[in-house]
Amino acid sequence: MGSVVDAPAVVVEEGVAENMLGGKKVTVVFVLGGPGSGKGTQCANIVEHFGFTHLSAGDLLRAEIKSGSENGTMIENMIKEGKIVPSEVTIKLLQEAMIKNENDKFLIDGFPRNEENRAAFENVTKISPAFVLFFDCSEEEMERRLLGRNQGRVDDNIETIRKRFKVFVESSLPVIEHYNAKDKVKKIDAAKPIAQVFEDVKAIFAPYAKAA
């Protein structure tokens, strides 16, 4: 009986992506929370007190659109048509931002927005977050805050707010559940006043305190 020859194993090119940032070792924290949960304010506090760099997926996409690049035009058209920008596009912008920045501690805000984003980020960058900072806040409280802030944002009317909240719950909660199963979610009660929320945040980030 002829011997069975094993099919050659598929060799994954390890070298390509030992972490896809040119070997730069980074600490990544994903920051998730519904619209109006106050995560932007707290990200600014974390940057100031703990020396992280804040990368907002939305800001990076907007900056790319503004740059007038071919990529920017494609992103703009997709947003206009109400399509979701492919994960790879956002990940590439995040990756470039992390490589260009001299820092090695990053808060990634508003991403991953869904399970597909999350899987793609880990597959493409080979980076797993240190943890996920989840700003938990009731829909009523977020609605109250969004309607109360007047930043001239087109997307802050009641219908749109409810739609955004629904999208957040349906898309982002599976991401939070995925990391929860790995014991990587740090949940913050974001309904408290800003100063109290930051006290909770500080307790979580204490190990990352900047050396005096």
- Cα 163 from chain centre: 20
b/e 170-203 (16+ beta carbons within 10 angstroms → b): ebbbebbebbeeeebbbebebbeeeeebbebbee
Q: In this predicted structure, what is the pLDDT of residue 108?
A: 96
Model pLDDT for residues 4-21, shown as the tens digit of each residue: 444 443 333 333 334 667
Better pLDDT: 206 or 164: 206
d(CA 15, CA 136): 39
The amino acid that residue 111 corresponds to is F
pLDDT, averaged across the chain = 83
pLDDT on residue 73: 94
Using pLDDT thresholds of 50, 70 and 90, give the confidence band for residue 116: very high
Which band of pLDDT confidence, cut at 50, 70 and 90, is reported for residue 212? very low
Nearest to 121 by CA among 101, 149, 150, 98: 98
- pLDDT number for residue 79: 83
pLDDT digit string, tens, across residues 166-193? 888 888 889 999 999 999 999 999 888 8
In the structure, what pLDDT confidence band is assigned to residue 210 with cuts at 50, 70 and 90? low
The predicted-structure confidence for 128-158, as pLDDT tens digits, reads as follows 999 999 998 877 877 777 777 655 555 557 7
Q: Which residue shows structure tokens 């991403």?
A: 111
pLDDT, tens digit (0-9, with 9 covering 90-100), for 41-53: 899 999 999 999 9
Q: Average of pLDDT values for 16-36?
A: 77
Which pLDDT belongs to residue 153? 56
